[in-house]
């Protein structure tokens, strides 16, 4: 059952081939069998079975949605009422969220089953899942490799068939890069498309939640329920949500694809480049035209991002002070000691590094030189993409310069790890939607093709990905040991 698509599962539930309770039990059994992957921080078994019983009743009453009775899992960054929401941090190891994120609420309303909460880099800061307080997640394709991050638990769980699909969040590539490394389909929507209410903030002007699934079709179904205007999120964009499935079948004849030369330069693994080139050829066979384009300021994305994201992180994470919730140090001497030690003991190394960087960039005398300067560079990058997207319909390139690296291989060199985000972070700075779609293997590890579209072009991206998945089977491969 863990290899069926959402549509096939919905069909099976309706024709009573299996019940939601049976389906949920089979996923819970797989989760228990594959605990060594370390995908889950919390498994909500009892609640999942209750939800499944309710879903079976709803299915019988004819009031079901496509997601009713479908077992999925939430990245542990989304607040879940009454359920531990750790954000991968010791700081929130004891935090039982008192309310639901809008994304969680939407999926509950649709009747989806919550299997549990997924491991992630601490406060979504990391590209390997190694910064989690709960330890690294393993990549199902190679147990010695990282799954990517920060939504590494989500990507590994979907790839290993421990959940039908999962939610993720993407601040600098945190949906696309793990999707690429684990061979699944992930979509970072346009900034403002999915509500951030109840999604623990890292860098507020960049964070965006999105679907992670085994196919573009499944991602379309999940996004349909996740997306929409939310008055509780002041940066949510008030714009109707199109029917994402309706456009999946559209022909790609005449589609204009732009290949930015900056995405194929130095540092790109030659076999990754070859896989991307092959994927682009497939698109030409489907009737697309290819043009060379340029994003001249791409290389400035890393410096701009590593000012803006830490600056916003240092402001956002100042709320964790040991007073109202979360970790508090033992026997504080005074209030200053309470703050300093609770934060010092509650946060891990990478989070501290970014708080320090952000505090510095925002401190008196440096604000204009760093934060304002980075925001200006951000506009230049955004203008580059606007110009490119006035010439072509979508932009394609790699997601990451290499396949998944080994656990422990890069953890001591944070700067090298930051540099590996080059193809993803510029898209967050511009606020554009982008996907990772499985496009081959290098040394037995999956490679993702990145597809970038114009603002609110999720429909087009899903269509472009779906058509590719009709003529290729990269997304159908299952890692050995998880068949």
From residue 34, alpha-carbon distances to 4, 151, 156, 163, 411 in Å are 19, 18, 11, 12, 25
State which of residues 4, 54, 237, 410 lies at the interface with another protein (CB under 8 A).
237
Does 57 sit near another protein (CB under 8 A)?
no
Binding segment for another protein (CB under 8 A), chosen from 15-23, 177-185, 218-226, 376-384, is 376-384
Q: Which of residues 187-206 bind another protein (CB under 8 A)?
A: 190-192, 205
Q: How far is CA 231 from the centre of its chain?
A: 23
Residue 54 or 237 with smaller CB distance to another protein: 237
List of residues 6+ apart from 277 with CB closer than 8 A: none
- Please state, in angstroms and rounded to a whole number, the distance separating the CA atoms of residues 103 and 197: 8
Contact 160, 180 (CB under 8 A): no
> 3-state class of 273 per DSSP?
helix
Q: Which of residues 205-224 bind another protein (CB under 8 A)?
A: 205
Binding segment for another protein (CB under 8 A), chosen from 8-16, 146-154, 210-218, 410-418, is 410-418
Binding segment for another protein (CB under 8 A), chosen from 30-38, 323-331, 393-401, 438-446, is 323-331
Q: Which of residues 14-43 bind another protein (CB under 8 A)?
A: none
**Minimum separation from the CB atom of position 211 to another protein (A):** 20
Contact 279, 446 (CB under 8 A): no
Q: Which of residues 327-356 bind another protein (CB under 8 A)?
A: 328, 332-341, 343-345, 347, 349, 352-353, 355-356
Residue 66 or 430 with smaller CB distance to another protein: 430
List of residues 6+ apart from 270 with CB closer than 8 A: none
> 3-state class of 387 per DSSP?
helix
Binding segment for another protein (CB under 8 A), chosen from 47-55, 121-129, 306-314, 389-397, is 306-314
State which of residues 52, 115, 203, 430 lies at the interface with another protein (CB under 8 A).
430
For CA atoms 268, 272, 277, 282, the dihedral sign is: negative
Would strands 40-43 and 185-188 be described as parallel, antiparallel, or unpaired?
unpaired
Does 405 sit near another protein (CB under 8 A)?
no
Q: Which of residues 134-163 bind another protein (CB under 8 A)?
A: none
From residue 473, alpha-carbon distances to 184, 216, 284, 341 in Å are 12, 12, 17, 52
Question: Residue 257 is inside which H or E element, if any?
Answer: strand 256-260
Question: Whose CA is closest to 430, among 304, 255, 314?
Answer: 304
Q: Which of residues 266-305 bind another protein (CB under 8 A)?
A: 297, 299-300, 302-304
Rounded to 10 deg, the angle between the 216-226 and 102-110 helix axes is: 110
- Please state, in angstroms and rounded to a whole number, the distance separating the CA atoms of residues 14 and 55: 11
DSSP state of 371: I
Residue 61 or 331 with smaller CB distance to another protein: 331
**Minimum separation from the CB atom of position 44 to another protein (A):** 18
Residue 148 or 192 with smaller CB distance to another protein: 192
Residue with tokens 């001249």: 296
The contact pattern for another protein, residues 454-483, with x = CB under 8 A and - = no contact, is: -x----------------------------
From residue 424, alpha-carbon distances to 174, 397, 451 in Å are 9, 10, 11
With contacts defined by CB under 8 A, how many residues of the chain interact with another protein?
Answer: 71
State which of residues 289, 382, 402, 472 lies at the interface with another protein (CB under 8 A).
382
State which of residues 13, 73, 114, 307 lies at the interface with another protein (CB under 8 A).
307
State which of residues 11, 33, 144, 231 lies at the interface with another protein (CB under 8 A).
231
Residue 274 or 372 with smaller CB distance to another protein: 372
Residue 242 or 303 with smaller CB distance to another protein: 303
């Amino acid at each position: 059952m863990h290899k069926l698509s959402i549509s096939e599962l919905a069909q099976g539930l309706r024709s009573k081939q299996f019940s939601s309770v049976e389906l949920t039990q089979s996923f819970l059994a797989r989760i228990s069998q594959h605990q060594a992957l370390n995908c889950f921080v919390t498994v909500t078994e009892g609640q999942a079975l209750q939800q499944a019983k309710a879903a079976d009743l709803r299915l019988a009453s004819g009031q079901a949605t496509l997601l009713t009775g479908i077992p999925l899992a939430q990245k542990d960054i989304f607040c879940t009422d009454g359920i531990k929401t750790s954000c991968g941090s010791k700081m929130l190891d004891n935090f039982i969220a008192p309310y639901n994120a809008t994304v969680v609420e939407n999926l509950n309303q649709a009747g989806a089953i919550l299997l549990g909460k997924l491991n992630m880099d601490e406060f979504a800061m990391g590209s390997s899942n190694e910064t989690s307080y709960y330890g690294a997640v393993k990549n199902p394709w190679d147990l010695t490799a990282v799954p990517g991050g920060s939504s590494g638990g989500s990507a590994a769980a979907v790839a290993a068939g421990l959940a039908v699909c999962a939610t993720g969040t993407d601040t600098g590539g945190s949906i696309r890069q793990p999707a690429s490394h684990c061979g699944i389909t992930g979509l970072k929507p346009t900034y403002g498309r999915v509500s951030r209410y109840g999604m623990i903030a890292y860098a507020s002007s960049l964070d965006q939640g999105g679907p992670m699934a085994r196919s573009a079709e499944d991602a379309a179904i999940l996004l349909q329920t996740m997306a929409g205007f939310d008055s509780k999120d002041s940066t949510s964009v008030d714009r109707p949500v199109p029917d994402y499935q309706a456009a999946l079948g559209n022909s790609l004849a005449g589609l204009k694809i732009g290949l930015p030369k900056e995405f194929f330069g130095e540092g790109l693994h030659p076999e990754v480049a070859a896989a991307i080139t092959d994927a682009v050829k497939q698109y030409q066979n489907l009737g697309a035209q290819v043009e060379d384009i340029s994003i001249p300021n791409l290389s400035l994305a890393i410096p701009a991002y590593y000012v803006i994201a830490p600056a916003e992180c240092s402001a956002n994470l100042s709320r964790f002070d040991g007073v109202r919730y979360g970790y508090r140090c033992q026997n504080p001497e005074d209030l200053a000691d309470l703050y300093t030690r609770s934060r010092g003991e509650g946060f891990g190394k990478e989070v501290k590094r970014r708080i320090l960087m952000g505090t510095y960039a925002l401190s008196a005398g440096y604000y204009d030189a760093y934060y304002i300067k980075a925001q200006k560079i951000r506009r230049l990058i955004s203008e580059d993409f606007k110009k490119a997207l006035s010439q072509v319909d979508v932009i394609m390139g790699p997601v990451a310069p290499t396949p998944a690296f080994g656990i422990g291989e890069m953890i001591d060199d944070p700067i090298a790890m930051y540099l590996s985000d080059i193809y993803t972070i510029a898209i967050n700075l511009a606020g554009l939607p982008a996907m990772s779609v499985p496009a081959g293997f290098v040394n037995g590890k999956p490679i993702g093709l990145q597809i970038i579209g114009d603002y609110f072009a999720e429909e087009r991206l899903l269509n472009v990905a779906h058509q590719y998945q009709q003529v290729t089977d990269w997304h159908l491969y299952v890692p050995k040991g998880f068949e």
